[in-house]
Chains A and B, each alone.
Chain A
Amino acid sequence: SSELTQDPAVSVALGQTVRITCQGDTLRSYYASWYQQKPGQAPVLVIYGDNNRPSGVPDRFSGSNSGYTASLTITGAQADDEADYYCNSRDTSGNYNYVFGTGTKVTVL
């Protein structure tokens, strides 16, 4: 099965920009989506189809996928953005399976 690798933790100063990456072979073939999860809560989709924001997600969140590496960028990070972030994509071993990244803890200083 496929793997998606993320850095375990990153920190960003309030108002600054942070980029979270997700690496895996499956990203050469399939779109990436990104989830934000706060403690005790269910994950919330913040990016789908590599670079699209669902309704209601602030425009400080943006995404990209260069093949093998997908990125989530938070431009002008807010205290409320402190959370765990997970990438998600299809699994190359089975077109109908999914795989999540290992997760990145974002701390806003």
Chain B
Amino acid sequence: EVQLVESGGGLVQPGGSLRLSCAASGFSVRTNYMSWVRQAPGRGLEWVSVIYSGGTSYSADSVKGRFTISRDISNNTLYLQMNSLRTDDTAFYYCARNLGDPRDYWGQGTLVTVSS
């Protein structure tokens, strides 16, 4: 059974760092493209970052230089390292497999709150 379980969210002060994890089961993160998508409370969806099967990654301009997507193939886990966090980074963060593809699948999300 396919599963994606995010963890690592919580309360962090502006300027701080946080690392989100997304544990995958039922498939390999190595052979699929994996994304992070976020949603501020009461707002719409915003694509954050993607890592392709070959390891190449891309990020939205709003997080470029601050967030880094990566994966651990041995642990079958996707990560999002978030540095220099700002209050407008407050959101639910979802990991997703194969965005916009028939094998599309999302986790349930983890909440990141950036506040002093």
Nearest Cβ on chain B to A46's Cβ, whole angstroms: 10
Question: Known: A42-B107, A42-B108, A42-B109. Is A99-B102 also a contact (CB below 8 A)?
Answer: no
| Cross-interface CB contact of A42 among B47, B56, B94, B102, cutoff 8 Å | B94
CA distance A2 to B112 in the complex (A): 26
Q: Are B45 and A100 in contact (CB under 8 A)?
A: yes
Identify the stretch in A20-28, A47-55, A72-80 within 8 Å (CB) of chain B at 4 or more residues: A47-55
Counting chain A residues whose Cβ lies within 8 A of the other chain, the interface size class is: 20 to 34
Grouping DSSP codes into helix (H, G, I), strand (E, B) and loop, the B interface class, with mixed when no group exceeds half, is: loop
Residues of A with C-beta under 8 A to B56: 96
Structural contact, B45 and A103, CB atoms closer than 8 A: yes
Chain B residue nearest in CB terms to A88: B100
Q: Which residues of B contact A44 (CB under 8 A)?
A: 106
With A48-B100, A48-B101, A94-B58 in contact, do A102 and B44 touch (Cβ < 8 Å)?
yes
Contact check, B109 vs A98: say whether CB atoms are below 8 A apart. no
Within 8 A of B (CB), among A14-54: 31, 33, 35, 37, 41-45, 48-49, 52, 54
Task: Determine if B102 and A52 form an interchain contact, defined as CB atoms under 8 angstroms apart.
Answer: yes
Contact call B99/A98, Cβ cutoff below 8 A: yes
Decide: B58 and A35 in contact? CB cutoff 8 A: no
Residue B46 interfacial (CB < 8 Å): yes
Q: Which residues of B contact A101 (CB under 8 A)?
A: 44
**Interface: A11 (CB within 8 A):** no
Which of these, B35, B61, B108, contacts A1 with CB under 8 Å?
A: B61
Q: List 20 A–B pairs whose Cβ atoms lie within 8 Å, in order of A's numbering.
A: A1-B60, A42-B94, A42-B108, A42-B109, A43-B37, A43-B94, A43-B106, A45-B104, A48-B100, A48-B101, A48-B102, A49-B100, A54-B104, A55-B102, A88-B47, A97-B58, A97-B60, A98-B35, A100-B46, A101-B44
- Residues of B whose CB lies within 8 Å of any CB of A are 35, 37, 44-47, 50, 52, 56, 58, 60-61, 94, 99-102, 104, 106-109
The 3 A-B pairs with the shortest beta carbon distances in the complex, nearest first, are: A33-B100, A98-B47, A42-B106
**Which residues of chain A have a CB within 8 Å of any CB of chain B?**
1, 31, 33, 35, 37, 41-45, 48-49, 52, 54-55, 86, 88-89, 94, 96-103
